[in-house]
A and B are shown apart, each in its own frame.
Chain A
């Protein structure tokens, strides 16, 4: 289609302008060394037409098409591709008039082969190839306003420092992910919200489903992924019982997927959750979540915890009551017979003292997970439990019967026309 072909008859001024513009473009094309020059044609030159919606509108059939062809001045120049000419992506369209056939599909792979080959193996590409909704380069990176890869690099704050808010570029990209993954956008209370790019945890090109073995958050890789920022926690976890359990499971060929959570996968997210995680700074909610999440694997311990004063108070929202991590620690969890464990008998005094300042060794024999049914755990407790139950049943049984029979007797008497006053004046004093 030539530039003049679609001009509306009668739009005299527009036509004049179009003709003049066309002459200018033709002049410019003729002035260069044909092919080479076309490749170097700048956005400013193409923008003579593609930067003006009004002009485009006169030469293409629909407004929608005109808007597709429009590239506002400055957009490309400000992007990561600002130094590039249009024809480097739009091959063959550097010449004017443009070819009648073909589309101007840009090929990112020619410059970004690594990203492309990673993408091809990822879920975004596979879904697209299978005819489902996927996502190609432009879906995330933009078209002419393509973002600078350097601006997207995951920045790791120095140890101990709080992560700064992400740049506007990263925020824009995160929002772009959320355009498709609406349910996965981080809620405002999530400590990662606005501070971490999606691709810090989810690989950017070779995208995986969350439960895929290759995902950055797969059990075998998660500690490294989260540890990029939370290094001390990751290091501690690797050395504790949970880290060992995951390692062993992976070595056996298990723990392939992070979902569903299982005793084989006590990784970071098993306790902390992922999107919408609760900050440890929100201690009450965090503790409540710990009791739930720890208890998902350690069910009997959660039940017996709820039998203790700690558990009952915690269940009712006490902030002071100790919960799992207060006694067992967080990333240094070991079996209670391991001397490194905070609940090992040698360490208990120290473990209890933050709350019970005057704790002595005898004091620490308190059973934080009492089980009244377990004779072997503490027979005195079990015996006390059954004694008090017997007393309860005995007292209420005898006096419940006493009460019931009384009611029956009086009801019968009343029916027979006796009732109140039957003993008045009938004192059997000497009995």
Chain B
């Protein structure tokens, strides 16, 4: 496979790259190749849907949550009024439920049809939370204080799993209370009216937790860490360099290095070598990445601002 620009520079001994800007903006494009597929198209589309719905839901919901804040009235005007914002919020919620069901169906089908089902449900390749995740969490703190090496993550570290299951938990809690508030007369046949007061509290706070977790913890872990700054587009382009993959998922190193010797796959098949992302894809991913974390950090700013109103 052809080396990309950065690899060529690296191969030709481009030193001091941090200062000269030779390092690609995308953390997943840094280091030794070849590129390895991490996320297939389905993952990326679902993640794109998640981004879209999360941002629209937060930006339509936050003015109501913090109706007293100075940014709320202009934001509501942007959406075209409270009723319109509410309608968009509900349509987006419906969309979120729809793609989540599609995703669950995909996961179930994948597990049922998998030949090596055990690999899906347990071990370094699995999304299922393990006792190892708790040990990794403790290990991470030990590493912070120089009392041990960095934990060795498998395909999904505990932060990836927290992002994922956090969304599952959020979807159940925010979605459930959201549907209650959407159809109060229907749910009011069985539930006392004050249940909607309680639902409002759960809905609003869980949304705040979700937004804060995403825009602080997830963003830092994925994009803003000093060793990844300014962004990591692996979820947009679907691929990262071998060095990046091993750095982030060291427990997979052997498998990855073995896979890297295979022929390049144009199709996004996990762990197979990938062609370098096109300049256009990189550009789009970078622009979107910056835009999204810009808005995300702005939302954190809005929440902090609103706390004082």
Contacts and interface: CB of A to CB of B under 8 A. Distances in A.
Interface of A: 306, 308-309, 311-313, 315-318, 320-321, 356-360, 362-367, 370, 372, 378, 380-381, 384-385, 388-389, 391-392, 395-396, 399-400, 402-403, 405-411, 414, 419-421, 423-429, 431
A403 B243 contact: no
A392 B250 contact: no
Contacts of A431: 152, 251
Contacts of A363: 184-185, 188-189, 193
A360 B188 contact: yes
Nearest to A371: B197
B129 to A, nearest CB: 16
A316 B209 contact: no
In the complex, which range does the number of interface residues on chain B fall in?
A: 35 or more
Contacts of B192: 362, 365
23 contacts: A306-B68, A309-B200, A317-B73, A362-B192, A363-B185, A363-B193, A366-B194, A395-B212, A396-B212, A396-B216, A402-B217, A406-B140, A410-B225, A410-B227, A424-B32, A426-B250, A427-B250, A427-B251, A427-B254, A428-B250, A429-B152, A429-B251, A431-B152
Contacts of B200: 308-309, 370
Contact of A365 (B76, B194, B216): B194
B250 A381 contact: no
A367 B201 CA distance: 13
Given A380-B194, A408-B144, A425-B246, A420 B67 contact: no
A364 B149 CA distance: 59
Contacts of A425: 246
B196 A316 contact: no
A385 B193 CA distance: 17
Contacts of A315: 67-68
B266 interface: no
A161 B112 CA distance: 76
A378 B200 CA distance: 14
Contacts of B247: 420-421, 423-424
Residue from A362, A381, A396 having most chain B Cβ neighbours under 10 A: A362
A429 B83 contact: no
A364 B73 CA distance: 29
Given A396-B212, A423-B246, 19 more contacts: A309-B64, A309-B181, A313-B64, A313-B82, A362-B192, A365-B193, A366-B194, A370-B197, A388-B202, A392-B208, A400-B216, A400-B217, A403-B216, A405-B145, A420-B30, A421-B31, A424-B31, A427-B254, A429-B254
Which of the listed residues A402, A409, A420 has the most CB atoms from chain B within 10 Å of its own CB? A420
Nearest to A358: B185
Interface string B224-267: 01110000000000000001001100110110000000000000
Contact of A381 (B152, B194, B226): B194
A424 B197 contact: no
Contact of B81 (A312, A317, A389, A391): A317
Given A359-B188, A421-B31, A423-B250, A366 B196 contact: yes
A278 to B, nearest CB: 19
Q: Is the contact region of chain B dominated by helix, strand, or loop, or is it mixed? A: helix
Nearest to B199: A384
Nearest to A320: B83
A353 to B, nearest CB: 10
A246 B209 CA distance: 49
Interface in B135-151: 140-141, 143-145, 149-150
Contacts of A428: 149, 152, 250-251
A309 to B, nearest CB: 7
Interface in B292-307: none
A360 B186 CA distance: 10
B82 A316 contact: yes
A403 B194 contact: no
Contact of B193 (A358, A366, A426): A366
B63 interface: yes
A428 B148 CA distance: 13
A318 B81 contact: yes
A409 B189 CA distance: 55
Given A362-B193, A407-B220, A429-B251, A388 B68 contact: no
Given A306-B68, A320-B83, A424 B205 contact: no
A384 to B, nearest CB: 5
Contact of B197 (A356, A381, A402, A421): A381
Contacts of B221: 403, 406
Contacts of A402: 140-141, 217
Contacts of A406: 140, 144, 220-221, 225
B141 A405 contact: yes
B253 A427 contact: yes
A320 B73 CA distance: 16
Nearest to A424: B243
B189 A362 contact: yes
A409 B72 contact: no
Given A388-B202, A423-B150, A403 B217 contact: yes
B227 A388 contact: no
B189 A367 contact: no
B179 interface: no
A389 B197 contact: no
B226 A411 contact: yes
Contacts of A407: 220, 225-226
Nearest to B185: A358
5 tightest A-B CB contacts, nearest first = A427-B253, A366-B193, A363-B188, A388-B205, A365-B193
A315 B70 CA distance: 12
Interface hub of B64, B141, B186, B200 (most chain A Cβ within 10 A) = B200
A203 to B, nearest CB: 43
B55 interface: no
A363 B180 CA distance: 12
Given A312-B67, A388-B205, A429-B250, A360 B189 contact: yes
Contacts of A392: 205, 208-209, 212
